[in-house]
Every structure is written in C-alpha cells, then in structure tokens.
C-alpha cells in the first residue's frame, strides 16, 4: 500500500523521516511518498483530508478531526521553549500588531492565549523576520529556524511562548503532530509502529540523518541545525506519553474557553 506522507521542508521534519527516505526501515509492505509543504498549507490540506499521513498544527486538529486520527509519535514539542515574538529594539515592550505564519498554526493559538487583544497579519513564515527588521511590521512571530537566528538581525525577544506556557502550566507546548486518515483505521496501529520505528532509527543514526536534513536547514550552520533538530526531534517525538497528550488537551481546551477555537473534538489517539 502506498501512503502519502506530508511534512514540512524543514530540518527537523527532514531529520525525523530521514531513515525512512534512506531505506533503513522495515516498512512492512507500506511505501511512503513524501509530500513537502509549509505547515499552514498542510493545515489547509487537512481540512480536505488530502493526505494519508500528515504533519499538522495541533491548533488545526479540531477542524480536521472528522478526517484524521492523532498519532502519539511524530510530534514537535517545545519543552520550555517554542515560537518567539520578536521586535526591533525601539518598539513597545508589548506589541499591538504581530505578523504571524498563519492563523491555524499552534504558534498563533499560543500568541492569542498570551495576548488576546493583539492584532495579527499573516505572512509566509520565512518572510516574517525580514519584515520586522525592515520596519514593515512592528513585531513578528517566528517559528522554525527563526527561533535561533533572530539575533543576527538585532531583533529583541518579546516573549518565548514555550517558556511562557511552561511557567504558566508546568507542561510543554505541543506545536505540531502527525495525523493518519481515518480510512486507514484498520491498519492504524501498524502504520504508527512503522513511523515510530522510522523516527527511532533516525535518532540512532543521528549523524547520517542530520547530514540528510542539512539540505533543509535554511541558513543554519551544522551546529545550529543539530541544536534545532534536538529541540524538536527527541523523546517527545517518539511518544507524547500521558503528559504530552494532557498538554494537547489543555491547550485546545484553553483555546476553546477563550473563543479562539470554535469547536472541541474528542482526541482520538493511535498509540
């Protein structure tokens, strides 16, 4: 059976599935066709149930739950760190307008929980840092490698939303996860086991798989790419566990209680 496997063209996702793309994993008869797209595009595609397996933002899951089951493996979790709001040094300490990488990203949800009245404007995620630097917008919400590189542009950290969330709740900030289309529910545990094995294999062949991922490490040095991958592909990625699943549930419940999320589904997990 061929399955589409959709994920971001970023160093962490590339590393996560490097062992799979390098043929190091027993796929138990499944083949995976990799589809690369930015996370907000994947969120929108999930509304249509387009892909068999897809990375999505946890914020998007309430709107795609009719199509997808949640996998306990493959998540990107910020444990005391996460998306950052940055501004030029002369801007106010609490911005009134923030450029965001999409309204279905978990970064956007966390931003609105931190500052409910903030105004936002959507820009491509890889344009936000430059837009702040050039004065097009007063502040920006950075995901992916921008979390490590904003200092090069002399931008000031306003808030690290992962740190803020952990100080407030004691829990990590679950940013993105993998979902499996419900049409495969009969094979869900088997497919999840293949993907978990693939992630474990990438972690155990770190140097080789990191070299594969460097092609997607936009502007990062090898050392920075290694740090970035370690932030988002780790034990949480192998299995969210009870604590990680609880963090997802709390995040969505808070979004719903604040009116940011309009519906709250049952979280259907595949272990």
Is there a single domain that holds both residue 72 and residue 98?
no
Least trusted range by pLDDT, from 49-53, 214-218, 228-232, 235-239: 214-218
Tokens, residue 270: 């595949």
**In whole numbers, what is the pLDDT of the chain averaged over residues?**
96
Considering just the CA atoms, what is the radius of gyration of the chain in Å? 18
Is there a single domain that holds both residue 226 and residue 157?
no
Is there a single domain that holds both residue 116 and residue 161?
yes
Under the banding of pLDDT at 50, 70 and 90, the label for residue 91 is confident
Is there a single domain that holds both residue 251 and residue 186?
yes
Is there a single domain that holds both residue 71 and residue 142?
no
Is there a single domain that holds both residue 154 and residue 100?
yes
The answer to whether residue 206 scores a pLDDT higher than 90 is yes
Give the total number of structural domains in the chain. Answer: 2
Nearest alpha carbon to residue 132 among 157, 107, 160, 115: 157
Is there a single domain that holds both residue 177 and residue 266?
yes
Average pLDDT (31-58) is 97
Is there a single domain that holds both residue 236 and residue 127?
no
- For 96-146, write each residue's pLDDT tens digit: 999 999 999 999 999 999 999 999 999 999 999 999 999 999 999 999 888
CATH number for the domain spanning 102: value is: 3.40.190.10
Under the banding of pLDDT at 50, 70 and 90, the label for residue 271 is confident
∠71-72-76 over CA atoms, to 5°? 95
pLDDT computed for residue 189 by the predictor: 97
Percent of all residues in the chain with a pLDDT value above 90, rounded to a whole number: 92
CA distances 253 to 58, 114, 177, 262, Å, are 12, 15, 17, 11
Q: Which of 7, 59, 115, 144 is catalytic?
A: 144
Is there a single domain that holds both residue 253 and residue 183?
yes
Average pLDDT (253-263) is 97
Q: Which of 140, 169, 198 is the last residue of a domain?
A: 169
Kindly write down the DSSP assignment for every residue of 155-193, as one continuous string.
Answer: PEEEEEHHHHHHHHHSS-EEEEEEEEEGGGGGGHHHHHH
pTM of the model: 0.95
Q: Which domain holds residue 113?
A: 84-169
3-class secondary-structure state, position 113: helix
Query: Is 115 assigned a catalytic role?
Result: no
pLDDT computed for residue 81 by the predictor: 97
Nearest alpha carbon to residue 141 among 129, 155, 151, 149: 129
pLDDT computed for residue 185 by the predictor: 97
Instruction: Kindly tell me the sign of the dihedral angle through the C-alpha atoms of 32, 45, 175, 120.
Output: positive
Backbone angles phi, psi at 240, to 5 degrees: -60, -30
pLDDT computed for residue 68 by the predictor: 98
Is there a single domain that holds both residue 227 and residue 184?
yes
């Amino acid at each position: 059976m061929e399955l589409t496997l959709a994920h971001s063209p970023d160093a962490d996702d590339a590393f996560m599935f490097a062992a799979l793309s390098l043929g190091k994993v027993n796929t138990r008869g499944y083949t995976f066709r990799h589809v690369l797209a930015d996370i907000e595009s994947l969120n929108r595609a999930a509304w249509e149930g387009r892909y068999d397996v897809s990375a999505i933002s946890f914020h998007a899951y309430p709107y795609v739950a009719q199509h997808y089951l949640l996998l306990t493996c493959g998540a990107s979790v910020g444990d005391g760190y996460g998306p950052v709001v940055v501004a030029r040094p002369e801007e106010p300490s609490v911005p009134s307008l923030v450029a965001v990488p999409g309204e279905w990203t978990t970064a956007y949800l966390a931003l609105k929980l931190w500052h409910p009245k903030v105004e936002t404007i959507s820009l491509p995620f890889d344009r936000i840092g430059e837009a702040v630097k050039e004065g097009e917008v007063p502040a920006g919400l950075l995901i992916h490698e921008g979390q490590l590189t904003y200092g090069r542009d002399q931008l000031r950290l306003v808030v690290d939303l992962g740190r803020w969330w952990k100080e407030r709740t004691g829990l990590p900030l679950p940013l993105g996860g993998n979902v499996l289309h419900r049409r495969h529910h009969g094979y869900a545990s088997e497919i999840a086991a293949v993907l978990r094995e693939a992630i474990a294999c990438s972690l155990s062949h770190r140097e080789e798989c990191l070299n594969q991922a460097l092609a997607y490490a936009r502007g990062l040095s090898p050392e920075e790419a290694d740090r970035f991958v370690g932030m988002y592909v780790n034990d949480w990625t192998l299995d969210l566990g009870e604590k990680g699943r609880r963090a997802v549930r709390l995040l969505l419940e808070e979004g719903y209680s604040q009116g940011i999320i309009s519906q709250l589904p049952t979280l259907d997990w595949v272990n």
